Structure 1
Amino acid sequence: MRDLGQRGQHVVVTSSPLSKPADKGTFNGRPSANERLLADLRAKILDGILQPGTVLSIAEMARRYRVSAIPVREVLQLLVGQGLVSHQSRGDYLIATLSSDELQEIYHVRSSIELAALVRACEQVTASDIDRARVEHRALQDSTVAGDPIAFHRHSRRFHQAMVFPCRMPRLLAMLNTTWDLTEPFQLMQHAPRSTHLQLHADHDLMLTALADRDVGALTKAAQAHGHRLTVIVDQAAVTGDLPVTSSAVDDSDDQDVS
């Protein structure tokens, strides 16, 4: 059960109760309470369940997860370091917000990193890599045909991950995943019409074909067109008010009670 607040309001995050107090490591190979809390909050943020701007109540999270306030703060600080949560000067913790310009900037950075990974992948992709990408492409196609924006959003990331994996550059892929994480809470695909999903999937067709053919030029052209299409979607969604973006950076003086 979840009791979720609106943007700028308190939110109670519920989960399956944890039977043990938080610890720093694992117990008998099982995730610690800290790790489970971190994983649960990350999932809720990346899935858009906790929307940008939502204030998190430390006291309520501690009660629901059956831990003290200390591990909750530790987990929130980890999420601050990942850019998913912001800590305001008055002590507030809230799901990180971005202006439309900042979101555009991150999409631009993400596209640039992805292009570098794709070019390298094109040079050393194997048959098994192509097979993996095709599996993800079929799943993405199924969600497109079904008109399911949530599934499209999820499978789109998996398809892109399969496309860049052949670059075999873990640090580059880690940077790419960081930028993906920063854009995920905004759930862009849920605000795009079906016609846009079809256009994006057509881009995916071209990208996969170019990777299979090891055609760097065609892959670069398709990836750049795809990245531009995403920035257009951000612009349109921001204008219509569909995205939970701010007009400017969040004011640190925002007065919210978190306890």
Structure 2
Amino acid sequence: MPTARDRSQGADRVATVQHATLRWLREQIATGAFEAGAKLRQEVLAREFGVSVPPVREALQTLEAEGQVVYAPRRGYFVATLSAAELTEAYRIRDLLESEAIARAVPLLDPTDIERMRAAITDMAAAHEREDLGALTEANRRFHFTLFDAAGMPRMAELIRVLWESTDRYRSRYFADERHRDRVDAEHQTIMDAVAAGRAGEAVQLLREHREHALEALRAALPDDGTGG
């Protein structure tokens, strides 16, 4: 008969598999391996990643809640497609949340936070040189979320995370252009200067401009549903 310890270890293994499956699917979508509108067959995904179907199903349900995939009854799961207007809306909501988080975070940053942000900039530069978009995206996320998490408002940070997850594949598209990578590097350096000096208002404005530059470039590459925004 399984002991409490056995049951606990079994639960930990299940959780680890589910987490790894979710992370893998997120990466596949973010890097464009699964294009917008592509059907996601659970059995095929399970075979590709070497897991059973249940953790794939759990991961797809999580991604559906985040807006990264959509479920159609009797048809299955598909990678979500965003229009320019929908992407604009996501960025507008991000502006509201991130501006509040940044204003609160800057006065609270400690030397470890500052060093983590500087290290992220260095890692992004290295990833840029070797054209590793996966590593670039991860370092970019680390730069920004070090700031968001420092605000001490975990629920707000989680809402921001959900918005980031839903638009990750578009962010990867932005980073695919070397000119955009150069711009991001320059903007991050300027943001870093303001943050390190404790200039919260300036940091909020610089990050707003940073988002707008990305949004402007991405909207040109997305279908417009005619609603504007």
Calculate the TM-score normalised by the size of structure 1.
Answer: 0.72
- In the other structure, the counterpart of 2:131 is 148
Deviation larger for 219-228 or 59-68: 59-68
Show structure 2 runs of 5+ residues with no match. 1-6
- In the other structure, the counterpart of 1:80 is 64
Q: Give the deviation of 1:66 after TM superposition.
A: 5.5
Q: Using a 3 Å threshold, how does the CA distance of structure 1 residues 73 and 142 change in structure 2: closer, same or farther?
A: closer
2:96 pairs with 1:106:
no
Structure 2 SS opposite 1:41: helix
Structure 2 SS opposite 1:228: helix
In structure 2, how many angstroms separate the alpha carbons of the residues matched to 1:229 and 1:87?
32
Deviation larger for 126-135 or 76-85: 76-85
Deviation larger for 47-56 or 31-40: 31-40
- In the other structure, the counterpart of 1:30 is 13
Which of 22, 28, 49 is residue 44 of structure 1 equivalent to?
Answer: 28
In structure 1, how many angstroms separate the alpha carbons of the residues matched to 2:139 and 2:163?
17
Q: Give the deviation of 1:214 after TM superposition.
A: 0.7
CA contact (8 A) 1:53 1:96 kept: yes
- In the other structure, the counterpart of 1:132 is 116
2:210 pairs with 1:223:
no
Q: Using a 3 Å threshold, how does the CA distance of structure 1 residues 212 and 120 change in structure 2: closer, same or farther?
A: same
- In the other structure, the counterpart of 1:214 is 198
Which amino acid is 1:235 matched to? R
In structure 1, how many angstroms separate the alpha carbons of the residues matched to 2:19 and 2:109?
34
Q: RMSD in angstroms over aligned alpha carbons? A: 2.7
Q: Give the deviation of 1:82 after TM superposition.
A: 2.1
CA contact (8 A) 1:136 1:155 kept: yes
- In the other structure, the counterpart of 1:235 is 219
Number of matched pairs: 216
Residue deviations 1:224-257, cap 9 Å, x none? 211211111112333xxxxxxx5549xxxxxxxx
In structure 1, how many angstroms separate the alpha carbons of the residues matched to 2:136 and 2:47?
35
Which amino acid is 1:29 matched to? D
Show structure 1 runs of 5+ residues with no match. 1-23, 239-245, 250-259
2:188 pairs with 1:188:
no
Which amino acid is 1:119 matched to? A
In structure 2, how many angstroms separate the alpha carbons of the residues matched to 1:221 and 1:232?
16
Residue deviations 1:29-62, cap 9 Å, x none? 3245544433332332233322221101234345
Q: Give the deviation of 1:71 after TM superposition.
A: 5.5
> What percent identity do the matched residue pairs reach?
25
Which amino acid is 2:147 matched to? M
In structure 2, how many angstroms separate the alpha carbons of the residues matched to 1:210 and 1:71?
43
CA contact (8 A) 2:66 2:163 kept: no
- In the other structure, the counterpart of 1:178 is 162
Which amino acid is 1:202 matched to? A
- Which structure: greater helix fraction? 2
Which amino acid is 1:67 matched to? S
Q: Using a 3 Å threshold, how does the CA distance of structure 1 residues 75 and 136 change in structure 2: closer, same or farther?
A: closer
